[in-house]
Structure 1
Amino acid sequence: MSVRLKKDSLYFLPLGGVNEIGMNLNLYGYNDQWIMVDLGTSFADDAMPGVDMVVPDVTWIADRKDQLLGIVLTHAHEDHLGAISHCWDDLQCPVWATGFAASVLRRKLAEKGMVDDVPLHIYEPGDLIELGPFKIRSMNITHSTPESQALAIETPRGVVLHTGDWKLDPRPMLGPKTEIEALRGYGDRGVLALVCDSTNVFSRGTSGSEGEVHDSLIPLLRDKPGRIAVTTFSSNLARLETLFAVAVELGRHVCLIGRSMHRFIAAAQENGYLKHIPNQVDEREAGFLPREKIMYICTGCQGEPRGAMARIAFGSHPHVVVSPGDTVVFSSKIIPGNERTLFKLHNELVLKGIEVITEKDAFVHVSGHPSRDELAEMYAMARPQIAVPVHGEPRHLVEHARFAQSLQVPHGIVPRNGDLIRLAPGEPDVVEQVPAGRLAIDGDELIPIQGGTLQMRRKLAFNGSVTVSLAVDRDGLLLAPPQVSMAGVVNFEPDEVDADIAEDIADAIDKLRPGPQREDAALEQVSQRAVRAYLKGLNGRKPVIQVHVLRLT
Structure 2
Amino acid sequence: MSHDLIIDDEEFEHESLYFLPLGGAGEIGMNLNLYGYRGKWLMVDLGITFGDDSTPGIDVILPDPEFIADRAEDLAGLVLTHAHEDHLGAVPYLWPELGCPVYCTPFTATVLRTKLQERGMAGDVQIIEIPMSGKFQVGPFDLEFITVTHSIPEPNALVIRTPTGTVLHTGDWKLDPDPVIGATADEAALKALGDAGVTAMICDSTNALVPGHSGSEAEVLEGLTELFGQYDCRIAVGCFATNVARLHSIAKAAEANGRSVALVGRSLWRIDAAARANGYLTDLPAFVTEHDAGYLPKDKVVLICTGSQGEPRAALSRIANGDHPEVVLERGDVVVFSAREIPGNEKSIARIQNGLLKRGVKIITADDAFVHVSGHPYRDELVSMYQWVRPSVAIPVHGEQRHLEAHAELARDCQVPETIIPEDGAVIRIAPGQAEIVGYVPTGRLCIDGKRIVPLGGTAMRSRQRMMSNGAAVVTLVATRAGELVADPQVAVMGLLEGEEDQADRLELIRLIRNAVEGLPRPSRHDDQAIREAARLAVRRAFNSWQGRKPLTEVHLIRV
TM-score with structure 2 setting the length: 0.94
The Cα shift of 1:21 comes to 0.8
The correspondence for 1:548, drawn from 537, 540, 556, is 556
Structure 1: which amino acid aligns with 2:43? M
Structure 1: which amino acid aligns with 2:503? D
How far apart are the structure 2 equivalents of 1:391 and 1:527? 49
The Cα shift of 1:506 comes to 3.1
Paired residue for 1:67? 74
The Cα shift of 1:447 comes to 1.8
Paired residue for 2:543? 535
Is 1:487 paired with 2:494? yes
Give the alignment of 1:436-515 within 5 angstroms: 436-473=443-480, 476-493=483-500, 494-511=502-519
Measured on the aligned residues, the alpha-carbon RMSD in Å equals 1.8
Greater Cα offset, 510-519 or 385-394: 510-519
Is 1:521 paired with 2:525? no
How far apart are the structure 1 equivalents of 2:505 and 2:77? 60
Structure 1: which amino acid aligns with 2:349? L
Structure 2: which amino acid aligns with 1:226? C
1:390 to 1:536, Cα distance in 2 relative to 1, 3 A: closer
CA contact (8 A) 1:244 1:278 kept: no
How far apart are the structure 1 equivalents of 2:133 and 2:328? 46
How far apart are the structure 1 equivalents of 2:290 and 2:283? 18
Give the alignment of 1:273-288 within 5 angstroms: 273-275=280-282, 277-278=284-285, 280-288=287-295
C-alpha deviations, 1:16-46, integer Å up to 9, x for none?
1111111111111111111111111112233
Secondary structure at the counterpart of residue 199 of structure 2: strand
TM-score with structure 1 setting the length: 0.96
1:199 to 1:510, Cα distance in 2 relative to 1, 3 A: closer
C-alpha deviations, 1:165-221, integer Å up to 9, x for none?
111111111111111111111112222222111111122221100000000111112
Paired residue for 1:323? 330
The Cα shift of 1:452 comes to 0.8
Is 1:44 paired with 2:45? no
The Cα shift of 1:518 comes to 4.8
CA contact (8 A) 2:482 2:525 kept: no
Greater Cα offset, 4-13 or 108-117: 108-117
How far apart are the structure 1 equivalents of 2:302 and 2:17? 52
CA contact (8 A) 1:248 1:278 kept: no
CA contact (8 A) 2:58 2:448 kept: yes
Paired residue for 1:234? 241
How far apart are the structure 2 equivalents of 1:376 and 1:457? 46
How far apart are the structure 1 equivalents of 2:91 and 2:286? 36
Identity of aligned residues (%): 48
Secondary structure at the counterpart of residue 254 of structure 1: strand
CA contact (8 A) 1:145 1:238 kept: yes
The Cα shift of 1:524 comes to 2.2
CA contact (8 A) 2:55 2:465 kept: yes
How far apart are the structure 1 equivalents of 2:430 and 2:267? 39
Is 1:218 paired with 2:225? yes
The Cα shift of 1:223 comes to 2.2
Structure 2: which amino acid aligns with 1:214? L
Is 1:418 paired with 2:418? no
How far apart are the structure 1 equivalents of 2:210 and 2:548? 48
The Cα shift of 1:511 comes to 4.8
Structure 1: which amino acid aligns with 2:543? L
CA contact (8 A) 1:253 1:278 kept: no
Structure 1 portions without partners, runs of 5+: none
1:532 to 1:420, Cα distance in 2 relative to 1, 3 A: closer
Give the alignment of 1:22-41 within 5 angstroms: 22-41=29-48
Is 1:2 paired with 2:45? no
Structure 1: which amino acid aligns with 2:81? T
The Cα shift of 1:78 comes to 0.6
Secondary structure at the counterpart of residue 356 of structure 2: helix
CA contact (8 A) 2:203 2:396 kept: yes
The correspondence for 2:200, drawn from 172, 193, 201, is 193
1:433 to 1:356, Cα distance in 2 relative to 1, 3 A: same
The correspondence for 2:273, drawn from 230, 255, 266, is 266
Paired residue for 2:369? 362
Structure 2: which amino acid aligns with 1:75? H
The correspondence for 2:178, drawn from 171, 176, 179, is 171
Paired residue for 1:309? 316
Paired residue for 1:251? 258
How far apart are the structure 2 equivalents of 1:505 and 1:431? 55
CA contact (8 A) 1:253 1:279 kept: no
CA contact (8 A) 2:210 2:378 kept: yes
How far apart are the structure 1 equivalents of 2:477 and 2:296? 62
The Cα shift of 1:130 comes to 0.6
Structure 2 portions without partners, runs of 5+: 1-6
CA contact (8 A) 1:228 1:295 kept: yes
C-alpha deviations, 1:340-369, integer Å up to 9, x for none?
221222122122211101112221100011
How far apart are the structure 2 equivalents of 1:504 and 1:189? 78
The Cα shift of 1:316 comes to 1.3
